[in-house]
Amino acid sequence: MNIPKILERQQAFFKTGQTKDIAYRKECLVRFRESIKKHEQHIIDALTAGFKKPPFETVATEISIVHQELNLAIKEVYKWSQPKKVKASLLNFPSSDYIYYEPYGTTLIIAPWNYPFQLAVGPIIGAIVAGNTAVLKPSELTPKTSELLAKIISEVFDPGHITVVQGDKEIAQQLLAQRWDYIFFTGSVPVGKIVYKAAAEHLTPVTLELGGKSPCIIDETAKIQQAARRIVWGKFVNAGQTCIAPDYILVHSSKKKELLTALDIEITRAYGADPKVSPDFARIINEKNFERLSELLDGASVFKGGNTDKADLYIAPTILENVTLQDAVMQEEIFGPILPVLTFDSKQDIENVLTSFEKPLSAYVFSRKRSFKNWFNNAFSYGGGVMNDTLIHFINDRLPFGGVGHSGVGSYHGAQSFYTFSHAKSVVKRGTWLDVPVRYAPYKGKLSILKRFTKWL
């Protein structure tokens, strides 16, 4: 595969100026939406083949979110693309000041395996609506979905506009060795650092959507049964292979027993007495991840679940108790259906746990006490989160989605996707009918005038 030739083709297409035409962008987005509708069952089948993802989850967490993003982009592409007039500075009088949004150029999008359709198509929509060309590198761990993405994109787009490059990490390394105008990466923190380093070689701007140990705090005022139901959904959807899933629970010690009982009830309610035969519970993506997760269970105090089947890549929805910060399960992002439960008695206990990790991608608080929720929100930095639920901040396209610190750089979704893939170019249009001479040398006698004038700014 000749990666430099592919990049050269994308650059040549961008230079034609076609992607800067807003009508062309909208036309492409409409065709993209229609092709996705046509292939909906194929998308469902591909994800079922990948890791037995339930069709309901595929529609709810992949296809419907993509349609939401597409519908908004099609509706707003003209509005977003217009120059924005801003208030001019008195120092530049007379002038009119504007922000122009221009595409970066040729972009690289590297997508992950856990939501292989939605997390590939979402950034593509941003690249298109902003007027860029793009090369998509989907995950090799979900080959059926990657092949389908290549088919859909080839049906809709000129190969110079959007194209798919399939392959393993060697292909990814070849892509990262090229000079792109923008790189958008979704994946793990360690690989994100590799991408960031490669981008720095050419001072290429990036968006990094990463992860971390997202906490779930439950205080003594929370509605425990409701909290348990919402946590079970947020944790075990996609078999826990979600970057914003609750990674661990911190529950007030007075509510631990009640919570554990409620989690037991809600897991059985969702997946039955034997989740392995449930059609609503996905599998681990591959043997490597299965082994990693299984090792986290070695010696752990299992309250519920813990069953595994390597042949089926199955790990039951699992709750761990009597967990300490020194346990293996607390040393890394879990990214699987294992949920440790720790306790706290004071705000200081919460602070001690959260500050032992890097800033997380998400955080969740279950409480009916406004002062506690406000304290948490002001005390800790995290990418985004929810009070009294999990995951749902991802759904609102009016909220930018992204991390902070080690959990990510930049954000996207909705209008923010357009701004992420656009350079905001500032332009001052200066009038010629007046030219105040105070700024020009010689400056003798002008300093006092300048000081008086700046008091009014």
Place of tokens 């792109």: 180
pLDDT at 99: 98
Q: How confident is the model at residue 449 (pLDDT cuts 50, 70, 90)?
A: confident
Q: Which amino acid type is present at position 175?
A: L
Q: Is the pLDDT of residue 161 over 80?
A: yes
Exactly one of 57, 62, 209, 321 is catalytic; name it: 209
pLDDT tens sequence across 88-110: 988 888 999 999 999 999 999 99
CB 63 within 8 A of CB 36: yes
Closest alpha carbon to 158 in 330, 52, 9, 279: 9
Residue owning tokens 């929509």: 125
Please indicate whether residue 243 is annotated as part of the active site: yes
> pLDDT digit string (tens) for 360-396?
999 999 999 999 999 999 999 999 999 999 999 999 9
Q: Is the pLDDT of residue 290 over 70?
A: yes
CATH number of 3-210+405-424: 3.40.605.10
Catalytic residue among 243, 266, 321, 333: 243
Range 218-231 average pLDDT: 98
Is residue 249 a contact partner of residue 259, using CB atoms and an 8 Å limit? yes
Read off the tokens for 102.
């221009």
Residues 102 and 82 sit within 8 Å (Cβ to Cβ): no
CATH topology of domain 215-396: Aldehyde Dehydrogenase; Chain A, domain 2 (3.40.309)
Where does CATH 3.40.605.10 sit in the chain? 3-210+405-424
Q: What are phi and psi of 108, to 5 degrees?
A: -115, 130
Q: How confident is the model at residue 19 (pLDDT cuts 50, 70, 90)?
A: very high
User: How many Å is the Cα radius of gyration of the chain?
Assistant: 25
pLDDT band at 82 (very low <50, low <70, confident <90, very high): very high
Q: Over 90: is that where the pLDDT of 446 sits? A: no
Nearest partner of 23 among 78, 82, 67, 73, judged by Cα? 78
Alpha carbon distance 128, 105 (integer Å): 11
pLDDT of residue 377: 97
**3-state SS of the chain?**
CCHHHHHHHHHHHHHCCHHHCHHHHHHHHHHHHHHHHHCHHHHHHHHHHHHCCCHHHHHHHHHHHHHHHHHHHHHHHHHHHCCEEECCCHHHCCEEEEEEEEECCEEEEECCCCCCCHHHHHHHHHHHHCCCEEEEECCCCCHHHHHHHHHHHHHHCCCCCEEECCCCHHHHHHHHCCCCCEEEEECCHHHHHHHHHHHHHCCCCEEEECCCCCEEEECCCCCHHHHHHHHHHHHHHHHHCCCCCCCEEEEEHHHHHHHHHHHHHHHHHHHCCCHHHCCCCCCCCCHHHHHHHHHHHCCCCEEECCCEEHHHCEECCEEECCCCCCCHHHCCCCCCCEEEEEEECCHHHHHHHHCCCCCCCEEEEECCCHHHHHHHHHHCCCCEEEECCCCHHHCCCCCCEECCHHHEECEECCHHHHHHCEEEEEEEEECCCCCCHHHCCCCCCCHHHHHHHHCCC
Amino acid residing at 176: L
* pLDDT tens digits, 300-318: 999 999 999 999 999 999 9
How many CB atoms within 10 Å of residue 263? 26
Residues of the chain with CATH 3.40.309.10: 215-396
The answer on pLDDT for 299 being more than 80 is yes
The DSSP bridge pattern shows strands 215-218 and 248-252 to be parallel
Q: What is the mean pLDDT of residues 216-231?
A: 98
Kindly indicate the confidence band of residue 457, based on its pLDDT and cuts at 50, 70 and 90. low
Q: Judge whether 28 and 161 are in contact, CB under 8 Å.
A: yes
Query: Does the pLDDT at position 285 exceed 80?
Result: yes
Over the stretch 187-206, which tens digit does the pLDDT of each residue have? Answer: 999 999 999 999 999 999 99
∠ CA 124-128-129, nearest 5°, is 115
Q: How confident is the model at residue 454 (pLDDT cuts 50, 70, 90)?
A: confident
Computed over every residue of the chain, the mean pLDDT equals 96
